Chain A
Amino acid sequence: MPKRADLKKIMIIGAGPIIIGQACEFDYSGSQACKALKEEGYEVVLVNSNPATIMTDPGIADATYIEPLTPEFLEFIIKKERPDAILPTLGGQTGLNLAMKLHEQGILAKYNVQMLGAKYEVIKKAEDRSEFKAAAIRVGLDVPRSVFAYNLAQSLQAVKDIGFPCIVRASFTLGGTGGGIAHNMEEFERIAALGIESSMIHEILIEESIEGWKEYELEVMRDHSDNVVIICSIENLDPMGVHTGDSITVAPAQTLTDKEYQQMRDASIRLIREIGVETGGSNIQFAVDPRDGRMVVIEVNPRVSRSSALASKATGFPIAKFAALLSVGYSLDEIQNDITRETPACFEPAIDYVVVKIPRFTFEKFPEAKDVLGVQMKSVGETMAIGRNFKEALQKGLRGLEIDHIGLDNKQDWRYIDDDKLRRRLAQPNASRIFYLKYALQKGMTVDQVSEISKIDIWFIDQIAQILEMEEHLKSVIASTKGLGPQLMRRAKEYGFSDAQLAEMMDKSEKDVRAMRLDMGIAATFKLVDTCAAEFEAYTPYYYSTYETEDEAILNNQKRKSKKKKIMILGGGPNRIGQGIEFDYCCCHAAFALREMGFETIMVNSNPETVSTDYDTSDRLYFEPLTFEDVMNVFEVEKPDGVIVQFGGQTPLNLARRLSQAGVPIIGTSVDSIDVAENREHFSKLMDRLKLCQPANASTTSKEETLDAAGRIGYPVLVRPSYVLGGRAMRIVYDEESIKSFLDELYSVSRGHPVLIDKFLEDAQEVDVDAICDGVNVFVAGVMEHIENAGIHSGDSACVLPPHTLSVDVIARIKDQTVQLARALGVVGLMNIQFAVKGRQVYVLEVNPRASRTVPFVSKAIGLPLAKIAAQIMAGKKLNDFALIDPGALKYICVKESVLPFSRFSGVDIILGPEMKSTGEVMGIAATFGAAFAKSQIEANQALPKAGMVFISVNDHDKKDVALIAGKLADLKFKLVATRGTAQVLRRVGIEVMAVDKHHEGEENALTLVKKGEINLIINTPSGKKSQSDMRVIRAAAILHNIPCITTLQGAWAAVNGIEAGIKEEFTVEPLQNLYNRSGVLAGSAVTGPSAKNGIASLRSQ
């Protein structure tokens, strides 16, 4: 069937901010879909609240709305745009749920909008557990025994038939929120209550436990003509009981015979037809009893998912792009496989390598949370590695995880692990279990024992045993002969051992091992990911390294004989808190910009969720860990003319020095300048020279020194390690006792780099600046005024652009200092500076000569692609080549708000501090600050109330200012409730307030009010040194009941503004494309300057 001619305009709903369970994979899928539909001539309307996405770049869709993802706002947009259809299956669960609501509220019918890909009834059949189960049984599939319940009493009755352990799943939630495994009645009651609460339809499923069974996933595509193909099979190393997102997974399935695999395939096809997903990608999960092969189907996602992004990257088959094309009427046989060019998309990829995906956790950010894994997803990112065997892929993946492991190594501290603990850690899934598996074997447990305890398939355990055996063999050979011969060296590399691992065994430097290895003629070879196991010639240059005889990258480069200059861009690796989609956004822009300039672009990255690892983002994609060794391997093959390290966050920046020493031509800001900014001593000297002000500070290298310096500077101080991102182990300490208790962690995180101490500026206003410099001229792109005071990590605080309270004079001085610093550091490319303003004094807190987290936000706000411009400047253009307009005169206000993952980590307090905790961000755009802020709060799932009751409890420090906020709320007709101390302060100035106890006393107290749902907003600023445990309980309840809870007074002030706007103003929506036109700033056009020739000339001269 050809494409549909009755459709003109199609709306795509994005997935919103990055949260646990929904990350950049939906930017990847959504961008692919937008591009595909636009190429087909459709007008595309895109809605997403997340400014850090490629999809919200104004060039991707025809009308781009960065607006709240709620039915209300979507109706505004639908009314304005009148699309013919919406495509709800590419924006994750968020997009799907929204489309469902739009249908249920009659909005789609009202404006005559069709749903493409999957109709309402279909989605319901797949998502609603009882309908799904019935559908599965109808087509003869086995499912786990289960019962539904809609309230607690019902649940307690039902669980008696199912027995323990049982699994509780809440219907219609994200990434398994509100679920868990209950082993007894007590656990069950707690989990069931939570599940009913968090389900959109208050429904839970109580299910026979299939914990410990083997878990599989199949990625399926179907078209209008009922052709169905399986794109990829995935087998989980972690058996049932661990959320797939938290499991180490492998593609293709390893331990299924053809018979069993085909049964699973048949089941998938029957199920997808029965459910009726018309077109697009779906993913189906199965569990297999390892004892007798009984196969049950677990769930279906009738949409593009995290797994389909993984499957796309694992096979080279662009699921999202094809899903979009299928949704407008094409059939699979009408779509060409981009990679082979001659075969159609109607086939099933054959792969000739092994793919391992490993989740990245950030439990270190939430020390109160246990690193135990279950059915609720906890990981914040993932890395993928490709090898010619599992052992190689696993070891590559582990070093690509960037958690200081150099493979399946021995870095874990085993001193405190006795046999009991070891068995517990094997049995109970946790973030470091993979290392425990090896350790158990090392301690003498057999493969069967380890498999028995962990329930992990023997196949995987034996693979780990093989790695261990090789390691022991290598060690014994090294011990006896003091060196490895070429044959053994090659075997070691085939097993995935890194040079760093071998260096440790040989007691040599990594550099020496590398040299020795290359002398032996053992170099990495690159193989192509081609969807067809080499059966057809492939044209898409997507490579991975391995140790084989033939190198296809070299062969293809010779064949192509390109005369273009090459630039290599190093990506940011797996998402983590502090380093996520924003950096990938910048890397993608670099690739786009440099390609426009006529360079050949080479991307190196290991994150399968991203747009940067889409095979058409750059000219060549190398799916590799971002370690010195792996980057050098690519470098040796490609010999690029320049390498960009400043866009991928701290990951590539940390490699810069070593790469440069190894002769890699790093372009942009020099490695020395990066060092000046990161090295406290050098930086202080620079500040003195420029006569700029910074808080009193010291750089220390021992625990004693740290204590001395803190005392000398005077408490409170801010302490942190250098060369880290996201404020890892960064804290404000108020006395010597607190710093002592923290020293060990501090020094373990700093890994030999100095520990920095700064005087903490209390009550200071923080300001973030993003700028571009070409070495001479400086373009100050954005001055962002933080809502929260200095002391809260910039990644966690909200900010406003343009600044709305800073004086003209202060802004001028900030800009001036930015220019001075950029020039003094010789920045070429992007830089970000954090300032603090206290009174009239401007302090420089930090200078980062690299892309910052706020680059996409500023780019969206001012309508200029900063990362693109910066990349071109790094390649030799000058700022004068771009007609840049001072963005000071925006006619609208942009607010960035961060999105926090607290609901995922029970027991973790929600207060903010200098260590970053947010996973993502949203952007509110409106004519006034209040409205922009209100929008941002809706987007961050913290919608401000328009009426009701506000509970206020502030610390002593904030009591002096709280009346201002409370007074305004009273004016807006809110009822106020406060703790006794706060109430006293308010009454003193004549504000009417009800005083209540916190939670331990009396019948009616703050906690009971929260639980009863009578409180609509909580303003609670925690007291200085430690959070008060009684307020903690209330904050936890707020999270559970999804009541907005504001923990800073500045945040509260902004909220009051937002509430006022919500009451008095009417929200409007506007596509970015219109905003930019009206304010006189043009997007995109500014970047096309003089030809690439000049660029290359100046590139050379660096």
Chain B
Amino acid sequence: MKEAILYLQDATSFRGRTLKETGETAGEAVFNTAMTGYQEILTDPSYTGQIVVMTYPLIGNYGVNDEDVESDKVHVKGFVAKEFCRRPSNWRARKSLIDYLNENKIIAMEGVDTRALTRHLRIRGAMKAIISTEDFDPSSLQRKLDSLPSMEGMDFVRDVSTSKKYVWKHSGPRRYKIAAIDCGIKYNILRILAELGCEVHVFPAKTTAREIMAIKPDGLFLSNGPGDPAVLTYVIDTVRECLGKTPIFGICLGNQILGLALGGKTYKLKFGHHGANHPVRDFEGNCIAVTSQNHGFCVDIKSLDAGVEVIHTNLNDRSVEGIRHKSLPAFSIQYHPESAPGPHDAKYLFNRFIEMIDKNKNA
């Protein structure tokens, strides 16, 4: 354990201790209000470039296991909690979170007044932060942060997307052939699509429409992923080209990409939505789902043209949570119907994608 500082871009700092790993790490500080699911959060590629602050104070209680991972590695830049659990308990636990973080060389900080930090981020907005066990000098830390590029305009997708096309392994039936553009896709999306009888061909983010259409997919899936969607012109162009040629379903970053491909704009939220308790109204299904969310950017309602409609709205801040093209088979959701972590309320949206595919096949 080592004394550590978490220094924010606006010169506010918080003290705490790191676990075994020492040194320095910097990224955008965001808070997540989910009370369970830290292992999924750590391995979610969408957190690339971010230092995640957990608002629930006791993290690591049930350890880590072999199954609850959302990618092949830990993606967060840093991890902050009030207290990490030294002795976990759960029948599936394989090791403690502390060991897991140490093995993955993640700088994790505890003993922080995470509520004060969260309040600060809420009031001032998500911002760049640095955790250090070596440098406690504010001006030096400030310099380091200033030299760091801002989240807006950052392309993290190229770091997390698969380098080679692959087919997701599963043993069930394969009724549909789905192409998925991997901008940092979560395993649970792939698991659910497989469950529904999809053979999922996962493509690197930098794939052309022609390459995708070459496999004659029954549908195209746009994945979640980190960073600013607006800079991902190579994905946006691909999607634009595929529009109308195959049914499209997007999640999270995929929602923003579809919005951009349809001519809309995106903007950065003050502190984003990161948690597992956001109520969303689905205007098509006329129901409310409690949803898992993780996004810092959002589609601008005003930017959408008449051909696009908003199908889901966040009841907390009225932001766009889902859009649909009125005539073409394409829709997308800003939050995470695949959960992991979070409620399963919105899982039905995957079925809606399948229905769209069926309808398109029959047409």
Contact present for B287 and A226 (CB under 8 Å):
yes
Residues of B within 8 A of A535 (CB): 31, 33, 55, 118, 122, 275
What is the CA–CA distance of A1023 and B90 in the complex, to the nearest angstrom?
Answer: 58
Contact present for A265 and B87 (CB under 8 Å):
no
Contact present for A548 and B279 (CB under 8 Å):
no
Contact present for A255 and B92 (CB under 8 Å):
no
Q: Smallest Cβ distance from B75 to chain A, in angstroms? A: 17
Residues of A within 8 A of B37 (CB): 257-258
Interface string of A438-477 (1 = CB under 8 A from B): 0000000001000000000111001000100000000000
Q: Smallest Cβ distance from A1009 to chain B, in angstroms? A: 56
Contact present for A459 and B287 (CB under 8 Å):
no
Residues of A within 8 A of B67 (CB): 259
What is the CA–CA distance of A350 and B33 in the complex, to the nearest angstrom?
Answer: 6
Q: Tell whether A550 pairs with B85 under 8 Å between CB atoms, given A229-B290, A258-B36.
A: no
Say yes or no for B11: interface residue by CB 8 A criterion: no
The A interface is mostly helix, strand or loop, or mixed, namely: loop
Interface string of B38-60 (1 = CB under 8 A from A): 01100000000000000111100
Say yes or no for B2: interface residue by CB 8 A criterion: no
- Closest B residue to A340 by beta carbon equals B316
What is the CA–CA distance of A230 and B289 in the complex, to the nearest angstrom?
Answer: 12
Q: Tell whether A350 pairs with B55 under 8 Å between CB atoms, given A292-B91, A459-B87.
A: yes
Contact present for A459 and B36 (CB under 8 Å):
no
The B interface is mostly helix, strand or loop, or mixed, namely: loop
Contact present for B116 and A549 (CB under 8 Å):
yes
Say yes or no for B156: interface residue by CB 8 A criterion: no
Chain B 213-248 interface residues, beta-carbon cutoff 8 Å to A: none
What is the CA–CA distance of A227 and B115 in the complex, to the nearest angstrom?
Answer: 30
Say yes or no for A902: interface residue by CB 8 A criterion: no
Chain A 266-299 interface residues, beta-carbon cutoff 8 Å to B: 266, 289-293
Kindly count the residue-residue contacts between A and B in the assembled complex, taking CB atoms under 8 Å apart. 164
What is the CA–CA distance of A656 and B106 in the complex, to the nearest angstrom?
Answer: 52
Residues of B within 8 A of A266 (CB): 344
Residues of B within 8 A of A347 (CB): 277-279, 290, 315-316
B-side interface residues, number (CB < 8 Å): 53
Chain B 91-144 interface residues, beta-carbon cutoff 8 Å to A: 91-92, 113-116, 118-119, 122
Contact present for A459 and B88 (CB under 8 Å):
yes
Q: Smallest Cβ distance from B85 to chain A, in angstroms? A: 7
Say yes or no for A349: interface residue by CB 8 A criterion: yes
Which of A225, A291, A352, A447 meets B56, CB within 8 Å? A352
- Closest A residue to B271 by beta carbon equals A535
What is the CA–CA distance of A254 and B56 in the complex, to the nearest angstrom?
Answer: 11
Residues of B within 8 A of A527 (CB): 115
Residues of B within 8 A of A353 (CB): 57
Residues of B within 8 A of A346 (CB): 279, 288, 290, 315
Q: Smallest Cβ distance from A970 to chain B, in angstroms? A: 68
Which of A332, A343, A352, A354 meets B115, CB within 8 Å? A352
What is the CA–CA distance of A259 and B87 in the complex, to the nearest angstrom?
Answer: 20
Binds A, one of B21-29, B300-308, B320-328, B334-342: B334-342
Contact present for B342 and A258 (CB under 8 Å):
yes
Q: Smallest Cβ distance from A1 to chain B, in angstroms? A: 12
Residues of A within 8 A of B39 (CB): 257-258
Say yes or no for A572: interface residue by CB 8 A criterion: no
Q: Tell whether A390 pairs with B58 under 8 Å between CB atoms, given A258-B40, A262-B339, A527-B115.
A: yes
Say yes or no for A344: interface residue by CB 8 A criterion: yes
Contact present for B89 and A348 (CB under 8 Å):
no
Which of A349, A389, A536, A548 meets B113, CB within 8 Å? A548
Contact present for A549 and B14 (CB under 8 Å):
yes
Residues of A within 8 A of B85 (CB): 459
Q: Smallest Cβ distance from A856 to chain B, in angstroms? A: 39
Contact present for A388 and B68 (CB under 8 Å):
no
Residues of A within 8 A of B33 (CB): 350, 352, 532-533, 535
Say yes or no for A972: interface residue by CB 8 A criterion: no
Which of A226, A254, A466 meets B61, CB within 8 Å? A254
Residues of B within 8 A of A290 (CB): 91
Say yes or no for A68: interface residue by CB 8 A criterion: no
Chain A, interface residues (CB within 8 Å), range:
35 or more
Q: Tell whether A389 pairs with B82 under 8 Å between CB atoms, given A352-B115, A533-B56, A549-B113.
A: yes
Q: Tell whether A352 pairs with B87 under 8 Å between CB atoms, given A261-B36, A262-B339, A347-B277.
A: no
Which of A333, A389, A466 meets B279, CB within 8 Å? A333
Which of A260, A344, A352, A447 meets B55, CB within 8 Å? A352
Contact present for A258 and B340 (CB under 8 Å):
yes
**Taking each of A225, A347, A348, A534, which has the highest tally of chain B beta carbons within 10 Å of its own beta carbon?**
A534
Q: Smallest Cβ distance from B109 to chain A, in angstroms? A: 14
- Closest B residue to A350 by beta carbon equals B33
Interface string of B256-276 (1 = CB under 8 A from A): 000000000000000000011
Contact present for A352 and B118 (CB under 8 Å):
yes
Contact present for A550 and B35 (CB under 8 Å):
no
Residues of A within 8 A of B359 (CB): none
- Closest B residue to A251 by beta carbon equals B35
- Closest B residue to A390 by beta carbon equals B58
Residues of A within 8 A of B61 (CB): 254-255, 459
What is the CA–CA distance of A531 and B168 in the complex, to the nearest angstrom?
Answer: 40
Contact present for B119 and A550 (CB under 8 Å):
yes
Q: Smallest Cβ distance from A365 to chain B, in angstroms? A: 36
Say yes or no for A252: interface residue by CB 8 A criterion: yes
**Taking each of A226, A227, A262, A535, which has the highest tally of chain B beta carbons within 10 Å of its own beta carbon?**
A535
Chain A 522-548 interface residues, beta-carbon cutoff 8 Å to B: 527, 532-537, 548
Contact present for B57 and A352 (CB under 8 Å):
yes
Say yes or no for B62: interface residue by CB 8 A criterion: yes
Contact present for B87 and A262 (CB under 8 Å):
no
Say yes or no for A351: interface residue by CB 8 A criterion: yes
Residues of A within 8 A of B58 (CB): 254, 354, 389-390
Contact present for A257 and B279 (CB under 8 Å):
no
What is the CA–CA distance of A225 and B113 in the complex, to the nearest angstrom?
Answer: 40
Say yes or no for A512: interface residue by CB 8 A criterion: no
Residues of A within 8 A of B341 (CB): 258, 262
- Closest B residue to A349 by beta carbon equals B277
Residues of B within 8 A of A459 (CB): 61, 85, 87-89
Contact present for A293 and B92 (CB under 8 Å):
yes
Q: Smallest Cβ distance from A385 to chain B, in angstroms? A: 14
Residues of A within 8 A of B118 (CB): 352, 533-535
Contact present for B288 and A333 (CB under 8 Å):
yes
Q: Tell whether A257 pairs with B62 under 8 Å between CB atoms, given A350-B55, A353-B57.
A: yes
Sort A-B residue pairs by CB-CB distance and give the 9 closest, nearest first. A258-B37, A550-B116, A258-B341, A462-B87, A459-B89, A533-B55, A258-B36, A350-B33, A348-B277
- Given A265-B344, A344-B315, 9 more A-B residue pairs with CB atoms under 8 Å apart are A256-B62, A258-B340, A259-B67, A350-B55, A389-B82, A390-B58, A457-B89, A535-B55, A550-B116
A-B contact pairs, 24 of them (CB 8 A): A227-B287, A255-B88, A255-B89, A257-B39, A258-B37, A258-B40, A258-B340, A262-B343, A266-B344, A291-B91, A293-B91, A342-B316, A344-B316, A348-B276, A348-B290, A350-B56, A447-B87, A457-B89, A459-B61, A532-B33, A533-B55, A535-B33, A535-B275, A548-B115
